[in-house]
Every structure is written in C-alpha cells, then in structure tokens.
Structure 1
C-alpha cells in the first residue's frame, strides 16, 4: 500500500474525510469535481464550469494530532529531555521514532473547515447540468491546516529529528513557525511537510444512481474506486 493510500486511511479514521493529495501543496477548493484513483481524489475541474454556484460557510477551528502505534516523540533543550518546549533561545530538537514502516506523525495545530452549505440545491443543479456524469465526486468541505507538520516512515525503526532554537520549535507546535527548522533522517521519509499551511483533507459527495440526490462519501470502498483516464470519456460506474 502506497503512502497516499495510507495517509487517506489515517484521515478517514481520524476525521472521516478523504486525503487531499499531496497534502498542503495542492490547489483544492470547494466545488472541485473529479474521480477517485488509487484511493485518492483526482481533480478534473470545478462545478462553476457547469454554471453551478454555491454558498460557502466556515466552522470553528480545531486541532488534529495523530501518531501511528509504536511512534515515540521526545523533546530536548540544550541536550536535556523536557516535557514541553519552552520559549528560550537555546538549541532544541524534537525526535520522532517510528517502530514500523508506513507510520505517520501528523500535527495540525490549527485546522479550519470550509463547507458548501447548500449541498442539496447544488446536487439538484448538477443533476440537470448537460454533460455531468454520475461518477464525478464533488468537494463539499475542505480541511485546511495551519503550520502543519506531517512526516511518514518508509522503513521500520527509523528516526527523524527536527532541530532549531527552542523558541522556533515552540512556534512550530503552535502552528506559527516561519522557517529556521532542519530535518535529519529524510532518506527514510515517505512524506515530509514542516510547518506549512494548506488543504489536508476533503469531504466529497456524488449523485445517487436512482434519486440523483447528493450522497456524502464517508468511507473508502469499491464504490469509490474509479480509475482515472486522462483521455477519452469516462464510463459510468454502478
């Protein structure tokens, strides 16, 4: 199983959402439509191309912190282990140890959600739109992380170390760091995002086969596995 599919499974288990791949460094937005390929959403366009508008709303921010089983995180300031990083101008580090391959360390100190509020109306409009295909999935919610740190392991028993001054690492854990951090152990990393902001998760809907009403997709499954064909017409799934 690849890193993208495993990352998607983590987000399904923690937030009940699909992965925005690549996390953070993407351009996903509300109203994007596409298909699922190899377990992740592949954007093809935006429903505005079909003349369909929507009303957007935002929810209260939250935090996402995930550690795969067997992951150990320790913090050091001036060579001594500490429970929390203080705001001092001393050399410090955060050590992340993974006991198994394909493990994840995810820290999104501030996670904001933006959603389409009138999904039923949007679905009805898409049902009538010329050229719309039932297999298309639509982004109706985006989960944006501020100052995210996401690291995954390719190998078992691998370790990574984030190094900077303590005041910079403290800002990193608050989602407010702006550079000055080095990462060691990159050769064993499957995914590496340090203190960056962007979309990490998506909620999708499709139109039901018989009623044409929006069906919110919450769990991965065979129903969502549609291979992406960059050329030619896509066949409807059932």
Structure 2
C-alpha cells in the first residue's frame, strides 16, 4: 500500500473523508470531477464545463491532530525538554519519534470545510447534462488546513526534528508559521509538509448506477471503490 492510501486511511478514521493527493500542494476545488485511480482522486475538470452551478457554504473552523500508535512527541527549548514551547527568542525543536513504519504525525491547527449545499440538485443537473458519465466522482466538500504539518515514516524506529526559534515553533502550533523551520532526520520521511496551507481532504459523490440519484462516498465504501483501468467504463 502506497503513502497516498495510508494517508487516506488516516483521514478516513479521523474525518471520514478522502485524501487530497498530494496534500496541500494541489488545486482541488468544489465541483471538480474525475475518477479514483489506485486510491487517489484524479481531477479531470469542473462541473462548470457542463453549465452546472451550486451554492457553497463554509463551516466553522475545526482542527486535526493525529499521532499513529507508538509515536512520541517531545519539545525542547535551548536543549532542555519542556511541556510547551513559549514565545521567546531561543532555539527550540519538536522531536517526533516513530516506533513503526508507515506511521503519521498530522497537525492541522485550523481546518476549514467548504461544502456544496445542494448536492441533490447538482446531481439531478448532471444526470441531464450531455456527455456526463456515471463513472465520474465530484468534489462536494473540501477540507483546507492552515499552517499544517504532516510527516510520515518509511521505516520503524525513526526520528525527525522540527528546528527553529521558539517564537516560530509556537506560531507553527497555532497554524500561523511563515517559514524559518527546518526538518532533520535519521532517514528520509515518506511525506513532508511543514507549516503549509491548502486542501488536505475531500468528500466526493457519484450518481447511483440504477436510480441516478446522488451517492456520497463515505469512508466505509471508498476502500472498495478504488478504480482500476478495467473499471473505467460507464455503469449500466
């Protein structure tokens, strides 16, 4: 299983959404459509091409903090272990130790959800749109993180350190860091996102095979919904 699917499973367990891959460094938006290939949503276009519109709405911000089992996080100020990093102009670090491979550290202090308010109406319009194919999946919600950090381990018993001044790391924990952070480690991380902002998760829907009504793809169905090359013919 690749890193993309592993990260998607993390988001499934925590938010019941699918991974936006690559996380943060993508351009996903509401109304994007495409297919799921090898566990990853692949954008092909936007439903605006079919003349279909929708009503967006933004929910209250939340946060996502996830640590895989066996992950240990330690904070240091001027070489001494501390429970929290204060706002002072001293060198500091956050040490992340993974005891098992394929582990994740995800810290998104600010997570904003934007969603379509009229998914059923959008589905009805797409059902009538010339050229629309039922294999397409549509982005109905985006989960955008502000100043998030994502690190994963390729191997067991690995450690990484986020290094900067305490002022900067304090802002990182608030989702407000603007750079000045370095990542060091004994081995290469599987995924490295440090204090960046962008879309990390997606909620998708498709049209049902027989009725043509909308079917929101939840985490319990997505794992068996991966597309392969042979699955990309239209449903009948």
Structure 1 length-normalised TM: 0.95
Runs (5+) with no aligned partner, structure 2: none
In 1, Cα distance between the equivalents of 2:100 and 2:37?
A: 26
Give the drift of 1:228.
5.5
CA contact (8 A) 1:149 1:194 kept: yes
Q: Deviations over 1:29-65 (max 9, x none)?
A: 0000011111111111100111101110000000100
CA gap 1:143/1:228 in 2 versus in 1, 3 angstroms: farther
Q: Which residue of 1 aligns with 2:234?
A: 236
**How large is the Cα RMSD of the aligned pairs?**
1.4
In 1, Cα distance between the equivalents of 2:188 and 2:150?
A: 14
Give the drift of 1:226.
1.4
Give the drift of 1:186.
7.2
Q: Which residue of 2 aligns with 1:221?
A: 223
Alignment of 1:137-152 (within 5 A): 137-152=137-152
In 2, Cα distance between the equivalents of 1:44 and 1:114?
A: 20
Question: Which stretches of structure 1, 4 residues or longer, exceed 4 Å deviation after superposition?
Answer: none
Structure 2 length-normalised TM: 0.96
In 1, Cα distance between the equivalents of 2:172 and 2:91?
A: 14
Runs (5+) with no aligned partner, structure 1: none
In 1, Cα distance between the equivalents of 2:127 and 2:223?
A: 23
In 2, Cα distance between the equivalents of 1:36 and 1:173?
A: 33
In 2, Cα distance between the equivalents of 1:176 and 1:145?
A: 11
In 1, Cα distance between the equivalents of 2:206 and 2:166?
A: 47
CA contact (8 A) 2:163 2:182 kept: yes
Give the drift of 1:236.
1.8
CA gap 1:86/1:126 in 2 versus in 1, 3 angstroms: same
Q: Deviations over 1:132-186 (max 9, x none)?
A: 1111100000000000000000010000000011011000000000111111017
Q: Which residue of 1 aligns with 2:111?
A: 111
Q: Which residue of 2 aligns with 1:209?
A: 209
Give the drift of 1:130.
0.8
Alignment of 1:73-112 (within 5 A): 73-112=73-112
In 2, Cα distance between the equivalents of 1:142 and 1:62?
A: 13
CA contact (8 A) 1:36 1:228 kept: no
In 2, Cα distance between the equivalents of 1:94 and 1:69?
A: 18
CA contact (8 A) 2:143 2:202 kept: yes
